[in-house]
């Protein structure tokens, strides 16, 4: 294993970013920048042994401005949506930015963790390398109470596993729902649509939404008999073809929904395979849910690493999380982090071939 640090360009304000490349014994690698904790690339083999990048990203940090789709980024304080940018915590109403169309609070607000420079400590190990990323969010940042100390550790192993360990602690009661917003395409970055990918999600229910704002109604709806029944492998495009026929898919303009994962603790959550390359990705997590987003609104304003702009359905996201708007729905496990308690969750992405 080895870690290499290289320059990754500068932002409009002149701040310089770094890129850390973690390479394992077989030559597979993960590339992560200190700006937004963004995963820029994951280079893993296909069934012929040929390495290819399976995530969307940009050649340097300037591509990530202006913000478009949160490609590869760490998300916080609260991933996903909060209805009307309002909630009540300990009897006090919080007013948060309505940064999604002036209607909902999305992915931490106007300047979330995806826009921050993180302090990075690289650690070269035996059979695995790690990057420890740290950021301290001050009391009141984006309207959230408490000084929140966050540590996210990325670990890449010789077995082609990417482990993301999220940890945080606050000096006041606050909200915390950290996730990662990488867009995957197992056929390879820039190869086109992900509709031929086959997905399986171990969830008996999904979180129904009320309208195109994609805010939960509070109902955990059974997946049986719907396009959301992904308990057996299903081609993504087959589900997407029902968008105009299924009300819930219509609201999300496709898959953009929270699945309530079966079981507890660190367990299998999702498998995605791609038939032409043979690549298979599995996801394990101890979070209660995962947001499956099929890139329905993806339209990049800058050319990606492949040299052209990305378009809808060229990547999918699997954001392990608490359910969207959980603070406003007592029927869901909520994202409240009490003062002095530790936020501590793990998500693992494994890459293999068949």
* Distance in Å from the first CA to the final CA of the chain: 25
Of 112, 59, 258, 279, which is closest to residue 184 (Cα–Cα)? 279
Task: Give the active site residue among 274, 314, 319, 329.
Answer: 319
* Helix/strand/coil for 324: coil
Active site residue 165: no
Tokens 């909200």, located at residue: 175
Task: Give the active site residue among 181, 197, 257, 313.
Answer: 181
Q: What distances in angstroms separate CA 288 from CA 26, 161, 183, 261, 269, one per listed residue? A: 33, 21, 21, 6, 10
Tokens 């359905």, located at residue: 313
3-state secondary structure 55-98: ECCCCCHHHHCCCCCCCCCEECCECCEEHHHEEEECCEEEECCC
CA dist., res. 29 & res. 310, Å (int): 23
Phi-psi map region of 149: left, alpha, beta (phi>0 left; psi -120 to 50 alpha): beta
* Helix/strand/coil for 250: helix
- CA 303 to the chain's CA centroid: 21
Active site residue 219: no
Pairing, β 148-157 against β 289-293: unpaired
> Nearest 10 degrees: CA dihedral of 220, 319, 100, 183?
-140
Q: What distances in angstroms separate CA 138 from CA 51, 172, 224, one per listed residue? A: 41, 11, 44
Of 178, 209, 139, 160, which is closest to residue 51 (Cα–Cα)? 160
Backbone φ and ψ for 115, nearest 5 degrees, come out as -105, 5
By annotation, the residues acting in catalysis are 181, 319
């Amino acid at each position: 294993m080895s870690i290499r640090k290289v320059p990754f360009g500068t932002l409009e304000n002149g701040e310089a970013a770094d890129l850390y490349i973690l390479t394992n014994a077989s030559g597979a690698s993960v590339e992560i920048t200190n700006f937004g904790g963004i995963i820029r690339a994951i280079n893993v083999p296909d069934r012929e042994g040929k390495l290819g990048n399976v995530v969307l990203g940009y050649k340097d940090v300037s591509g990530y401005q202006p913000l478009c789709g949160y490609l590869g980024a760490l998300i916080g304080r609260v991933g996903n949506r909060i209805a009307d940018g309002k909630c009540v915590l300990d009897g006090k109403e919080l007013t948060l930015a309505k940064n999604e169309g002036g209607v909902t609070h999305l992915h931490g607000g106007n300047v979330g963790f995806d826009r921050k420079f993180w302090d990075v400590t690289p650690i070269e190990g035996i059979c695995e390398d790690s990057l420890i990323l740290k950021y301290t969010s001050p009391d009141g940042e984006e309207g959230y109470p408490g000084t929140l100390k966050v540590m996210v550790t990325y670990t890449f192993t010789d077995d082609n596993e990417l482990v993301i360990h999220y940890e945080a602690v606050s000096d006041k009661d606050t909200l915390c729902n950290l996730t990662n917003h990488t867009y995957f395409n197992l056929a390879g970055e820039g190869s086109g649509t992900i509709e031929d990918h086959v997905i399986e999600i171990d969830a008996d229910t999904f979180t129904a939404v009320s309208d195109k704002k994609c805010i939960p109604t509070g109902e955990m709806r059974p997946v049986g008999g719907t396009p959301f029944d992904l308990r057996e492998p299903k081609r993504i495009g087959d589900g997407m073809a029902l968008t105009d026929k299924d009300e819930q898919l219509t609201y999300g303009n496709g898959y953009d929904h929270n699945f309530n994962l079966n079981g507890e603790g660190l367990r299998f959550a999702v498998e995605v395979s791609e038939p032409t390359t043979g690549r298979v990705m599995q996801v394990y997590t101890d979070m209660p849910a995962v947001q499956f987003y099929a890139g329905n609104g993806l339209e990049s304003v800058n050319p990606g690493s492949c040299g052209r702009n990305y378009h809808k359905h060229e990547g999918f996201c699997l954001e392990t999380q608490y359910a969207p708007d959980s603070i406003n729905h007592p029927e869901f496990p909520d994202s409240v982090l009490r003062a002095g308690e530790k936020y501590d969750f793990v998500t693992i992405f494994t890459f293999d071939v068949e």
